[in-house]
Amino acid sequence: MLFNNNEYFELVEQVKQEILTAQHKASLSLNQGLVLMYYRIGQHINEHKEWGNKFIDNLAKDIRISFPRAKGYSVRNLKYMAKFAQEYPDEQFVQTVSAQIPWSHNIAILNKVNDLDERIWYIKKTVENGWSHAVLVHQIESKLYERQALAEKVSNFEARRMAPHSELAVQTMKDPYIFDFIPFKEQMVERAIEEALVKDITKLLLELGTGFAFLGHQYQLNVGGDDFYIDLLFYNLNLRSYVVIELKTGEFKPEYAGQLNFYLSAVDGTLKRTEIIHQLDFCYVKVRITWLQNTH
């Protein structure tokens, strides 16, 4: 029987995928078990609140004596377990929602978010996007829930796009966008803002959200023999759409809409492949850039 390289490589990829899937399931199962164990320890602690704070101190010491190599049973973490169990009295909720993310992520949400619906939203987004602890904290501190889930966003997606693509486009948007990572200066011109955004492309993509791929800045398009340059061009994998961004300082002017519509038509005519059937229509969103002065 002849050895087929292509079939072999396909087999290797299949085996690798099986291993990765099993590792992910094992990791998820381990994490769920840990979160549930911490939750039940917290329940036991809460059942004996009348014993006072010294009770938790003594409990931490006794656990350390019995399990000298075990980590995660400090006084501070035991208090977190108690708070976790108190905030989420429904164990079924813990099993199906909270246990889907690591313990450190749960604590960050517990400490920084008070509303239950908002907590659930951040948990689900963490699972969907695979956020690290640092990224989750950043998203909470930048009030992503308010900007993406609650904001009254201005767009024409419902009128121009069929459901569910219009809903997905609206969900992807934020209002306002916050680019406070750039060294903003008074009277900063649009090109300087563009260059600052592109210089830290990782943070720019993080702020734009899930699925964005950067295609270039001052992206050249030739229309009818004339060259035009788009400030920032992206492709969103979830929306299956090109996303054109033009940077403007000051208040919105009607001619900006005409410029963007022209660029969208040009992108639609020169870049869009036949299998990409959705086009991201024009919308206007607020952008807030915060200038952080060094006071030292």
User: What is 151-210 written as a DSSP string?
Assistant: ----B-HHHHS-TTHHHHHHHH--SSEE-TTS---TT--HHHHHHHHHHTHHHHHHHH-T
Per-residue pLDDT averaged across 100-112, rounded? 95
On whether the CB atoms of residues 54 and 2 are closer than 8 A, the answer is: no
SS3 label, residue 242: strand
Q: What is the pLDDT of residue 184?
A: 66
Does position 121 have pLDDT exceeding 50, yes or no?
A: yes
Distances (CA, A) of 123 to 31, 34, 118: 14, 17, 9
Segments making up each domain of the chain, as ranges: 5-149, 151-288
Pull the structure tokens for residue 217: 């800045």
Per the model's pLDDT, the better-predicted residue between 156 and 132 turns out to be 132
CA-to-CA distance for 117 and 115, rounded, in angstroms? Answer: 6
Per the model's pLDDT, the better-predicted residue between 131 and 252 turns out to be 131
CA-to-CA distance for 40 and 37, rounded, in angstroms? Answer: 5
Q: What is the pLDDT of residue 254?
A: 78
- Of 111-115, 149-153, 260-264, 285-289, the range with the highest mean pLDDT is 111-115
Q: What is the pLDDT of residue 159?
A: 52
Q: Where does the pLDDT of residue 285 fall: very low under 50, low under 70, confident under 90, or very high at 90 and above?
A: low
